[in-house]
Structures are given as structure tokens and as C-alpha cells.
Structure 1
Amino acid sequence: MHIDIWSEEFGAATDEPILLVMGSMSQGILWPDEFVGRLSAGGRRVIRYDHRDTGRSATIDFAAQPYTWRDICDDVLRVMDAHGLASAHLVCHSAGGLLGQLIAVEHPERVRTLTVIGSSPLGGGEGMVIMRALMGEQQPEGSLPEPAPEFTEFFRGVITAAPAANRREQIERMIAEERLLHGGALPFDEDASRKLQERIYDRARDLGALVNHRLAAAADPGFEPVGVLAQVKAPTLVIEGTHEPAKPGHGALIAAEIPGAQLLIIDRMGHTLPPEVHEELANAVLAHTAA
């Protein structure tokens, strides 16, 4: 099945290529323009894209043409192919980090380096940990650390809320979610958030189509192979904020499983990428992806 994927690139075609892979249900523009600009100014060819069923990429009739997270993972490789890249530096956020880890395991020749930000270890069952937390169920021994209480409380409300009545109400909900994911340690710029969420809302072909990512995850519960991270050969940088609300402590677990991985903890960062951390993030990625 042919899928149209929107992408854009910055920097010279001869520069070291970085492919930015955003998390589940997220548009590529959640990689902030300033952060992208710092990378391209540092001599990198930077590519960001919208996952299928987000932003300007194709929306799918899931009932007629169901897909899985394996297909979303294959889209990463398709974007690389479309830009003429046999390999690239993968910089991945949240669930995008799972995609990057899987590609590093199964297609090592395509990954020059791997950077995962605010993510969980492949095969750790992070989705089930969040689901059990939302249901108020006890986590089995050995499970990943569960989300912060404020995260669980917020998304319990999201699950039970009626659909937004209009654009304004939906954008207010999106701002509230960004505020929660921000982590609380750094000032939250509501005006900037409103502009971003309006942009996300207005550029989406079908904003509701992003829930297909949840259906895709449910359609392939075996998406994440267990016990394979020791196979990762790509130099790996793992980044987590001190105020990560969704996956607290997961970064250290990734770094512990991947041979030679480095762990960077960024003070006061939550699950988003606010301006206050762009310089440190960009410098770390530039150093990690230096030829």
C-alpha cells in the first residue's frame, strides 16, 4: 500500500544526515524550529516528517486498511529512502525512540548513531505499564517505573471526557496536555503553546486520525521484541529530563541495556522540548553525530 508521507529537510545535502523521529500521534513540527535550526547551523542535514495519520501525511481508513506499528516503523525507512539515504543518524523522541531502537536492532546498517529522548526500553512493555496505571491496577514485579501521579490523573480525565465541541475547546485541551507533559520545573509559555497547538490543529488533514496509532499498537502486541537491546551496535545517546512525567527513569534502563550507551540527564526538562533546553540538547546531538 502506497502511503504519502510529508517531510522537509534543512541544511546542505552534503552534511551528515539526521532523521528526526517524533513520538506516537505526533506531528514532525513538534521538533522545535529553533532546535532544528541549531542542528542545521552545526553542519547537519536535518529531516523531520509527519507520521502517517498525523499532520500533512496521509490519513488511513483503518477499518478498510488496518496497519501496525511495524508499518509505522517501516515508514522511517521509507523516509530515508525518499531522501536518498542509505543510512542516517536517528534522533528519536518518546515512542519514536522505540522505532529507533527496533531499527538499530533489525537494520543496523541504516543507523549511523542513535539518540533517544524521553523514551522507554524496547521490549519493556511501556504501553501496558501506562494502561495498568490508568486502570489503577498494581504493576507486576519487574515492571518499568510507572508515570508520575499527575500524568495518570490527567489522562484518566482525557479517557472519560466527551469529544471537544469546537476548535477552540480542542486547542485548550491540547495546551493542557502540553502543560502536563512540560513537567512543571521550567516556566510554561502558554502563548507559545497556543501558537504551536493552533498550527498543529490547522495543518492536520484529519486531527482525529491520530487515534489510529492506538489501534495499530493494539493490532500488533508483539511489536516489541524482548531482550534484544544488547544487539544494538550504533553508538547510542540516551537523554531524559529530571522532571519526566511519562517515563521517569526509563532512560537509565535503556542505557544499561545497550552496550556503551551514554546517558545524559537534563536538569528541569520534562517530556517536551522547551526553548530552555535547546542549546544543551543540540550541543549533545551535534557532538554525538560528529563524523
Structure 2
Amino acid sequence: MIVRFYGRSMTTSATYAVNNVELSAETYGDPADPAVLLIHGAGASMLWWDARLCTELAARGRFVIRYDQRDTGRSTSFPTGEPGYAMSDLAADAVGLLDALGVERAHVVAQSMSGGTALMLGVDHASRVASLTFVSTSTGDDGLPPPSADMPRLGTPDFADAAAVEEYVVRSIEAEAAGHFDESEARALVREDMARARNYEASLTNHFAMTFDGPRNGGFGDLTMPVLVLHGDADPLLPLPHGESIRDAVPDARLAVLAGMGHGLSAPYWKTFVDELVAHTEER
């Protein structure tokens, strides 16, 4: 374990044995504060929750946990195209990580595809979830609008060409950003992500190849904890009706629309995100 101090804030980095895999995780802040578990979307390592954002949230009195899911970052990687696991295994990993960290209940924040993981946590592991926040995600119901026709078709990169892979991911970030795109920041993120990944091709492939099972004990309408939905009204991948579908499906859910935000949680929206999350995760 690596422990670092930034002023009064403590950051730890460690690898945990969970469900027969290794999960790399970092924590920010005081473990005595309410825990916030950040789960990013398909193919995204913990780096996609920016360390500056995590530090800001910790400074507001939250114990922040970010981690590499299977097939991302420094966590266990599976053969490309053959993950051999299901989304329910990703939910079980999240519970196992909370166990390893000694966290009884956490406020779970899920981005994009990981909204399905958060749903499983909220329905099948409800005792471990203090609240849920869905960021740029969806119920997946039939009839919801497809991605914007303006989004470019990027195809598949040549994974033997590192420069081509980097360019592909940078351009993907740009396509989803709805104008809030900083190329130097995006390129730095992608380069760091590629450098620390066990298998970057598997990172960009396996979450789409896993088994998409559902919760065993219900659906969105069965969530009993407080639910916040954060969604950009300029999201080109999952247009705003996707976020509205969660609000409508979950009793007493609250939707906060972030004007002008695309699919990713870009830096101009960090303050709003932190403000909304801090209010949502006040001890109840």
C-alpha cells in the first residue's frame, strides 16, 4: 500500500484480492467520512475519475474510492474478446472492494454503462448502498432515442499501432464532449491510461463482450435508497430522455440537468457535480 498526504487529506493506493481477481484502487480523504464509491463506464479505468475531482470531493468531507474494474488499468485482465464474466460479477467486485476497505455502506456513483452495475448493487446488495447517483446513463428501455446522427463513426483502431489507438480514444472523447473538449488534457489521460493498462485492447473490448445479466430481485422501480440522476442536455451518445427514463422509473428520484454537458463529466461541470453529490450524500 502507498500512502500520501496532501495537506490534511490522505490518499492511499493499493491492490486488493477480490472474487479471485486483483482490483487496483485509490482512496482520498478520511475513512471516517461518508464513503463515495466511483464506478466509471465501459473500458474506463479509475483515471477517468480525475484525481483533482476526487481531491475536491474529499475536501468536502467524503471518503472517495476510485478503482480499476476488471479489464481496466492495473486490475486483472482477461483474454481479449473472452472476458468470461457478467455484469453481476462487476457488482460483486464492488461489494468485495467495500469489504476489503472495511466500508459497510457507500454512496455509489456510476457513469454510463456502469449504471447497470449500480442498479444491481441497489437492488441485490441494497444493505451496502446508502444512495445511488446515475451519471450519463439509461434504463435501456425500448423507444429511447439513439445516439446523435452527428457523432462520427470511428471504426476500430489497429491495436498493433499505439499511436492509432491513442488517436482513436482521443477522438472518441471529442465526439462525446459536446464542445467541452480539451485536447491536451484528453491526450494526457489516454497516454497515462494506455501506459498503466495490463492489456489496453482488452480494456476497450471486454466490457462490451461480457454477459449482460440483470438484477435478481427487481429493477429500477424497486430501488429504495435516495437516487440522483445527473445528465447533460447535450449528451450525443445517450440523449437526455435516457436520463429522464431513470427519473421516471425510480420512485422519488431527482434529475439534475447539466446544461450544455455531453456524455463525459468534463472539467467545467466538476463544481456542479461536487455540489450536487455532497448535498445528495448528506448523512440520513
* In structure 2, distance between residues paired with 1:15 and 1:234: 19
Partner of 1:130: none
Shift of 1:144: 1.9
Q: Does 1:31 align with 2:49?
A: yes
Shift of 1:200: 0.7
> Which amino acid is 1:201 matched to?
M
Partner of 1:75: 93
- Within the candidate set 112, 115, 128, 2:133 is matched to 115
Shift of 1:61: 3.5
- Within the candidate set 267, 272, 277, 1:285 is matched to 277
**Structure 1 residues 205 and 164 mapped into 2: Cα distance closer, same or farther (>3 Å)?**
closer
- Is the partner of 2:230 in helix, strand or coil? strand
Partner of 1:233: 224
Partner of 2:145: 145
**Structure 1 residues 64 and 92 mapped into 2: Cα distance closer, same or farther (>3 Å)?**
closer
Q: Does 1:243 align with 2:237?
A: no
Partner of 2:207: 213
Q: Given that residues 86 and 212 in structure 2 are in contact (C-alpha distance below 8 angstroms), is that contact kept between their aligned partners in structure 1? A: no
* In structure 2, distance between residues paired with 1:162 and 1:194: 16
CA offset digits 1:18-75 (Å, max 9, x no partner): 0001111111110112221111000000000001111110112378872112212211
**TM-score relative to the length of structure 1:** 0.85
Partner of 2:116: 98
- Structure with bigger RCO (C-alpha 8 Å, 6+ apart): 1
Partner of 1:128: none
More strand by share: 2
More helix by share: 1
Mapping for residues 163-178 of structure 1, pairs under 5 Å? 163-178=158-173
CA offset digits 1:171-206 (Å, max 9, x no partner): 11111000001122x3x2111111111111101011
Structure 2 residue runs without a partner (length 5+) = 1-18
* In structure 2, distance between residues paired with 1:229 and 1:171: 36
CA offset digits 1:113-139 (Å, max 9, x no partner): 110100011xx35xxxxxxxxxxxxxx
> Which amino acid is 2:168 matched to?
R
Q: Does 1:262 align with 2:254?
A: yes
Partner of 2:263: 271
Q: Given that residues 23 and 92 in structure 1 are in contact (C-alpha distance below 8 angstroms), is that contact kept between their aligned partners in structure 2? A: yes
Q: Given that residues 147 and 237 in structure 2 are in contact (C-alpha distance below 8 angstroms), is that contact kept between their aligned partners in structure 1? A: yes
Partner of 1:201: 194
* In structure 2, distance between residues paired with 1:49 and 1:90: 12
**TM-score relative to the length of structure 2:** 0.87
Q: Given that residues 32 and 273 in structure 1 are in contact (C-alpha distance below 8 angstroms), is that contact kept between their aligned partners in structure 2? A: no
> Which amino acid is 1:228 matched to?
G
> Which amino acid is 1:213 matched to?
H
> Which amino acid is 1:229 matched to?
F
Structure 1 residue runs without a partner (length 5+) = 126-141
Shift of 1:169: 1.9
Q: Given that residues 124 and 215 in structure 2 are in contact (C-alpha distance below 8 angstroms), is that contact kept between their aligned partners in structure 1? A: no
Partner of 2:10: none
Partner of 2:67: 49
* In structure 1, distance between residues paired with 2:74 and 2:261: 28
* In structure 1, distance between residues paired with 2:80 and 2:162: 24
- Is the partner of 2:131 in helix, strand or coil? strand
**Structure 1 residues 200 and 256 mapped into 2: Cα distance closer, same or farther (>3 Å)?**
same
Partner of 1:139: none
* In structure 2, distance between residues paired with 1:181 and 1:96: 17
- Is the partner of 2:66 in helix, strand or coil? strand
Shift of 1:99: 0.8
Query: What is the RMSD of the two structures over their aligned residues, measured on CA atoms?
Result: 1.9
- Is the partner of 2:234 in helix, strand or coil? coil
> Which amino acid is 2:199 matched to?
D
- Is the partner of 1:113 in helix, strand or coil? strand
Partner of 2:7: none
**Structure 1 residues 65 and 286 mapped into 2: Cα distance closer, same or farther (>3 Å)?**
closer
